[in-house]
Structure 1
């Protein structure tokens, strides 16, 4: 049997393992014909092209997660075990029972250590110029949780000493190695952690808007997130003095990954300009960060967000408010107003008046710009648009004078 040697760049090089596995399984290379090794100098094998006539294959998500968790173990043959698991599924054969038992035990240990690290992270990483800690790792789970650690600590530098190795996030680059000098380690080469990124993430501890944005991009807390194209987080400067909160992204926003870029967003931008509000002084976001819709043929029709979706997204909206600390909070529509005021809101009763908020800001309730687009006749649209602009001017009038 001809042997194939695969050289990985580092002990957690999941990216190369996955690419090589896809190519080698497509060529029907059995596990016994592959030797997996790690390069001491960081080089790796380029995957051979799959045969042009090779049938495609798909692997269940849970199976791939089990393989990724196995690679985070310290088993000497972990890459071979993970490959054998994928090969068995792709060829509809039965994995070796002894190997499967070892795989499941390794994955359980990785999951347990992931939970332990996340549970104790904030206590371990005491605040300081560079947060440092020692963790008695028995697996490679800490490496796979480097992104989690980085986001939980708001992108600030940190250093984690592990048995025989060290992880160091400089604020821009992840470094890794058994001793100085440490080498850069690309986050996108690591296996995904055994738990979803946002599981156990203390969103209330995040102080960086960019860290909150990056974490929210992976959020799958509510079922709605699994159907949307992507998370649509807020947009604007962290120093913005006004925050505008709508209900949820629409179809255009879901595709673009940005809030208020569809027809309602274009109308909103025009109204902001007429009200004399500098777009750089405005942070725009939504109560719910994913597009909820029902399908009608090829169209995706907006469906109102429910209480569960609003509650699931509440920590992200709270983080935006806490980090930005707007002086004026404009609630666009009843969904946003009800979520932020903590009670049922009727626009007609609350509109066009200042509302003291619990964080010291001034709240103003008005309609959502999409309401203006739904009005039946031109006179009504003109009248209500002028009233909307007047609400925005009222909100802006509660800003303190800008400091030079």
Structure 2
């Protein structure tokens, strides 16, 4: 989800402590809306200890009842410099922040810099920990390509396994989380190694900084929640291009993602059930969970609103069909509330004639988990929900070579592929 970079966090703290509260608030609002701050605002103050810049990115605190940014107040009308940005007060502007809000903003920034808002266990390194790409098996390829459409352009990495059968290969589209790259996501999930084992293609679309400053998929924007619009149209078009270029198996195409990527994957399943045979949502939110930044953070903090369980998004767009779904979520995830995992299951689960089975287990030396499976009369599992106990906002069972991973959890990558390969679409 949207994260504030360390240098920006320190600059906002400096502005707050100097009493420039309108500037600090405006800067935070720019960052939350995915707009890059001006260069001057990104540079840390000379009096900031350089060691402090090594803090991990922080998730902004939001009032769970209202979605309001704690301590924030909009800048007064017409306030700001004449530099064309119009969102920062001049140094001699009077502080119009109410006393209670001023106190809240000071307290919020103190909590932010002291790390009180980072309760999630992030076992893998933050950011881009990947030093060197893993060596490829002889005959395998991991190549960079681009896709262009009227909606824009997406770069992507494509993994083509060395193990290729004399038949069209199944394909998985993997949507990364905020701040991640295809290489980072591939390393953390170990999907390429599993692609060799199972013989399938893996596609890693890359969100652009132009679309979102933190490289998050814009799952909370109405224009990016609909079929044939925005990011869903781009991702679907990219999928179709790879299917054509490599003559892949159109009946066995899958999509999965983490966090913002998980929310985007849920949207793709709702918008394009005629393309994707199954979906995996890891630490994500249901389709239609939000309509803007405030409702996005409210959904992240307390769970998406009601009205999503019947497969209808909050924007009134009915699902075109049910796509088999596997969900992973941790019960100590304080970035995306675990209730969102329940809501993804509810949104995907209105299928008649199913039975339920719950199994509990324990990873040796790692996390306990609960797995609930929804099965048809023929024994096919159409919905699976994994709740990882004691873990935070991280890819379960992932490698520490990537970011947002927890090696102590059950192997989400392996379990997702097992689930996916049970399902196919007629074509």
Give the TM-score of the pair, scaled to structure 2: 0.27
Q: Which has the greater radius of gyration?
A: 1
Q: Name the structure with the higher helix share.
A: 1
Q: Structure with the greater relative contact order (CA < 8 A, sep ≥ 6): 1 or 2?
A: 2
